[in-house]
């Protein structure tokens, strides 16, 4: 199974600008320097919630509670109020649940238990911003040393799940808890608005990392969720939600889940599972049958889903069209190696699984090496076009799928299939089987082009020796003016959209059989529409905003719709299957995975403008492989010296290349260049020192002709040597230029490839 997450696709994502709904971005980590700030330091003991709650209650409107570096052990919830900012010292502040916390059910409302989160408050909070610290649920990590909050024995009490006296009896019997049943949710909001959670690390939890219920205007970005006991972000009956720039390592259930949500934008995230047991999907979208909360305008784009237990995206219930429009759009995503479940109870597996009969349009995605199906549409309710589906293999059990590229679909047209166990998957206009000729499958999915292919590694356009048949293979615009749009593709684009993840983007491969001259400029940021938010009511969180929730920005061809549907099965079980799947990435490394990744620059540090106003670039964390640990992170740090330009743990921002990239042929060429540059610098320094030394000899010769002659000769030969070196460079460059030399590795002969 592929376990490399395609650094060039991440570069594509980081180049792609979006608008957070003409919404002023939350402030980045302030370091406690903001106005109206109350600073705290961790106290000894396990009741740090007391000092935090006191500071929150006494803070002015819009004030900040700043938690200085250290670990704050809590034994009871942190209670928020409206118009407040809770902030920490990035990567240094930790709020940790005490060992054996044993938070009991505080009451019963009908058949529903009322459960306290680690961080929350009463219903109706507005203008709340939580940022820049780590929440440690202390669930599995420390159990072997006698701590933690997990109890495997308590699982027997929850079959079937009962929110009644049996549930209370179970609480009395077991000190610690079983995952996925509502205990120790890290952050929870209900009936609130104007809420923001960003630049956080949330790890080792028993339940959801962030849960919002009947809320609006929510932003969840730049977070790292590692080993949650349920969803990373769970949104119910909510609208106006944007989740982007997150890395979610799924342990149980889903990375992001939306039940009966609308105006929900999920983009520029990485999601994967790294244990061989019980995770479900990267994203789950469902309609639980509540007509007052219809599902519409759900947009899922520019994400990377890889090595996930069930599927990258799962539609678990029926979601119908409304007024003839698609309620969900899935586009420009990458799905690699998903669906490795060995539990037959999971059912169909693959890149996308639609088991409930949801209406969705799936276009311009790339699927590679998924198990079961590339796309599974069990009730034929999806429109599927312009995708590339390759390398699909048979699932781990019969119900998982037989390796069909696309199984089902109400309309399946203009897709490219190759090397699937069953390539002859569907009949339909424009579908064909053929090698799409990716530049480097598993790492770079740009299409080969004789006219020009964008190469993120060298930040240049490169001409290849053959053309991909997926160029100009998407639906013609004359047949579909919306999904046949190619306006974002650079010239020459053949007046037709390319298939696959880069179709209708500024990185689409060019049309033609000879190298284009001149090549296009570097790719422009690609704008896709995202949600707009309601008018902001508090400066503490989202700041000024315009527009009405439910609208989309006028930056793309997204067609919003609404829908409703029946009741479905919901999230898959949180039970550990213990299947021993060797293909799956390992469970998290307790000494590595529990370390927060460095968030780098804030989203507003990279900005762009357009006629619509000021927008911010999506922040995409430096992401590592999912193979051995959850956080093979590449941090940003200046380095002094070092001639090996690859395979490091830090990327020097002062260089034009990424030192964290894997070593390859280009690395050897670049290292040779660096060695030459180093030697030339040393030669220059040596020459200058020689000239200075000769000058001293000349000054202090005091009439000694032999010393004067020696000094003159030294200066003469130093200058002659430099003249030879630079003359040789000019001569070689002139000859190669006149001969029309083209470097096969890309770039000029004297630059890195």
What contacts 135, CB < 8 A, 6 or more positions away? 94, 95, 96, 118, 119, 186, 187, 200, 201, 202, 203, 205, 209
- Where a domain ends, among 191, 206, 221? 206
| pLDDT tens, residue by residue, 309-321 | 899 999 999 999 8
Question: What is the per-residue pLDDT for 684?
Answer: 76
Q: How large is the average pLDDT for residues 633-659?
A: 61
Give a yes or no: residue 629 inside a domain.
no
Q: Give the pLDDT band of residue 114 (cuts 50, 70, 90).
A: low
Asked whether residue 22 falls in the same domain as residue 34, the answer is no
CATH of the domain at 56: 2.160.20.10
- Where a domain ends, among 617, 632, 650? 617
Give a yes or no: residue 746 inside a domain.
no
Closest C-alpha among 362, 342, 343 to residue 351: 362
Question: What is the per-residue pLDDT for 544?
Answer: 25
Q: Between the CA of residue 535 and those of 21, 123, 293, what are the distances in Å?
A: 11, 20, 20
DSSP alpha helix (H) spans, 126-279:
165-173
Asked whether residue 332 falls in the same domain as residue 301, the answer is yes
Asked whether residue 275 falls in the same domain as residue 393, the answer is yes
Give a yes or no: residue 637 inside a domain.
no
Asked whether residue 258 falls in the same domain as residue 276, the answer is yes
Closest C-alpha among 147, 209, 211 to residue 176: 147
| pLDDT tens, residue by residue, 323-346 | 778 999 999 999 999 998 888 888
- Where a domain ends, among 617, 647, 679? 617
Domain extent at residue 707: 665-738
Asked whether residue 608 falls in the same domain as residue 673, the answer is no
Tokens standing for 105?
A: 């059910």
Asked whether residue 406 falls in the same domain as residue 453, the answer is yes
Question: What is the per-residue pLDDT for 494?
Answer: 95
Q: Are 104 and 76 in contact (CB under 8 A)?
A: no
Tokens standing for 700?
A: 């202090």
Asked whether residue 9 falls in the same domain as residue 98, the answer is no
Question: What is the per-residue pLDDT for 104?
Answer: 66
Q: CA 200, CA 87: separation in Å to the nearest integer?
A: 10
Whole-number average pLDDT of the chain: 76
Range in 181-190, 311-320, 434-443, 692-701 with the lowest mean pLDDT = 692-701
pTM: 0.72
Give a yes or no: residue 214 inside a domain.
no
Q: How large is the average pLDDT for residues 278-306?
A: 90
- Return the HEC string of 381-446: CEEEECCEEECCECCCCHHHCCCEEEEECCEEECCEEECCCECCCCCCCCCEECCCCEEECCCEEE
Q: Give the pLDDT band of residue 574 (cuts 50, 70, 90).
A: very low
Give a yes or no: residue 224 inside a domain.
no
What contacts 366, CB < 8 A, 6 or more positions away? 333, 334, 335, 387, 388, 390, 445, 500, 501
Q: Name residue 66's beta-bridge partners.
A: 39, 87
Asked whether residue 179 falls in the same domain as residue 269, the answer is no
Number of domains in the chain: 3
Asked whether residue 292 falls in the same domain as residue 188, the answer is no
Asked whether residue 7 falls in the same domain as residue 57, the answer is no
Asked whether residue 346 falls in the same domain as residue 431, the answer is yes
Give a yes or no: residue 471 inside a domain.
yes
Q: Give the pLDDT band of residue 689 (cuts 50, 70, 90).
A: confident
| pLDDT tens, residue by residue, 25-70 | 345 898 888 789 999 999 999 999 999 999 999 999 999 999 999 9
């Amino acid at each position: 199974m592929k376990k490399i997450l395609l650094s060039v696709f991440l570069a594509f994502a980081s180049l792609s600008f979006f608008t957070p709904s003409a919404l002023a971005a939350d402030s980045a980590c302030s370091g406690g320097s903001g106005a109206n700030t109350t600073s705290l330091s961790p106290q000894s003991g396990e009741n740090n919630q007391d000092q935090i709650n006191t500071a929150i209650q006494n803070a002015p409107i819009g004030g900040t509670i700043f938690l200085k570096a250290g670990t704050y052990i809590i034994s009871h919830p942190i209670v928020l109020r409206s118009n407040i900012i809770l902030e920490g010292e990035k990567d240094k502040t930790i709020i940790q649940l005490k060992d054996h916390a044993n938070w009991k059910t505080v009451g019963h409302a009908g058949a529903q238990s009322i459960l306290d989160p680690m961080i929350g408050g009463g219903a109706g909070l507005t203008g709340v911003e939580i940022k820049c610290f780590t929440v440690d649920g202390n669930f599995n990590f420390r159990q072997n040393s006698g701590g933690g909050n997990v109890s495997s024995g308590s699982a027997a009490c929850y079959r079937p799940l009962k929110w009644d006296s049996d549930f209370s009896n179970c609480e009395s019997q077991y000190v610690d808890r079983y995952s996925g049943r509502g205990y120790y949710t890290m952050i929870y909001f209900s009936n609130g608005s104007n809420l923001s959670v960003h630049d956080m690390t949330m790890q080792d939890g028993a339940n959801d990392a962030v849960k919002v219920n009947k809320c609006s205007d929510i932003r969840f970005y730049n977070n790292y969720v590692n080993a949650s006991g349920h969803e990373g972000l769970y949104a119910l009956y909510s609208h106006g939600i944007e989740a982007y720039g997150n890395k979610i390592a799924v342990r149980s259930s889903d990375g992001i889940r939306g039940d009966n949500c609308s105006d929900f934008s999920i983009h520029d995230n990485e999601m994967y599972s790294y244990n061989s047991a019980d995770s479900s999907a990267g994203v789950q979208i469902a309609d639980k049958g509540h007509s007052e909360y219809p599902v519409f305008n759900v947009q899922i784009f520019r994400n990377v889903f890889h090595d996930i237990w069930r599927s990258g995206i799962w539609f678990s219930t029926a979601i119908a069209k409304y007024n003839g429009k698609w309620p969900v759009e899935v586009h420009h995503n990458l799905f690699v190696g998903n669906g490795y479940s060995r539990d037959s109870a999971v059912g169909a597996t693959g890149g996308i699984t639609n088991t409930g009969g949801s209406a969705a349009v799936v276009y311009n995605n790339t699927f590679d090496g998924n198990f079961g199906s590339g796309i599974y549409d069990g009730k034929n309710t999806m429109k599927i076009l312009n995708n590339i589906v390759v390398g699909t293999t048979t699932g781990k059990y019969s119900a998982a799928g037989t390796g069909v590229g696309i199984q089902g679909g109400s309309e399946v047209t203009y897709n490219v299939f190759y090397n699937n166990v069953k390539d002859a998957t569907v009949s339909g206009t424009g579908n064909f089987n053929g090698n799409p000729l990716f530049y480097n499958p598993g790492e770079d999915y740009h299409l080969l082009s004789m006219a020009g292919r964008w190469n993120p590694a060298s930040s240049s356009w490169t001409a290849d020796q053959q053309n991909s048949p997926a160029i100009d293979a998407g639906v013609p615009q004359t047949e579909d003016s919306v999904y046949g749009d190619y306006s974002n593709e650079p010239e020459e684009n053949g007046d037709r959209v390319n298939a696959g993840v880069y179709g209708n983007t500024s990185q689409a491969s060019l049309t033609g059989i000879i190298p284009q001259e001149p090549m296009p400029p570097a790719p422009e940021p690609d704008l896709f529409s995202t949600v707009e938010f309601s008018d902001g009511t508090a400066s503490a969180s989202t700041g000024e905003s315009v527009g009405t929730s439910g609208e989309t920005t006028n930056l793309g061809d997204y067609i919003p719709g609404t829908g409703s549907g029946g009741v479905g099965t919901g999230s898959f079980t949180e039970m550990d299957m213990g299947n021993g799947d060797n293909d799956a990435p390992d469970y998290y490394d307790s000494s590595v995975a529990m370390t927060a990744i460095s968030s780098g620059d804030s989203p507003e540090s990279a900005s762009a403008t357009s006629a619509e106003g000021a927008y911010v670039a999506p922040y995409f964390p430096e992401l590592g492989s999912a193979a051995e640990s959850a956080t093979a992170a590449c941090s940003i740090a200046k380095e002094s010296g070092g001639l090996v330009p690859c395979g490091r743990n830090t990327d020097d921002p002062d260089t034009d290349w990424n030192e964290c990239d894997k070593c390859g042929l280009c690395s050897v060429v670049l290292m040779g260049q660096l060695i030459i540059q180093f030697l030339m610098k040393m030669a220059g320094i040596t020459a200058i020192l020689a000239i200075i030394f000769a000058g001293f000899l000349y000054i202090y010769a005091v009439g000694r002709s032999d010393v004067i002659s020696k000094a003159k000769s030294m200066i003469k030969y130093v200058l002659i040597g430099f003249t030879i070196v630079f003359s040789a460079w000019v001569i070689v460059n002139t000859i190669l230029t006149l001969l029309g030399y083209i470097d096969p590795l890309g770039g000029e002969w004297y630059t890195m490839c």
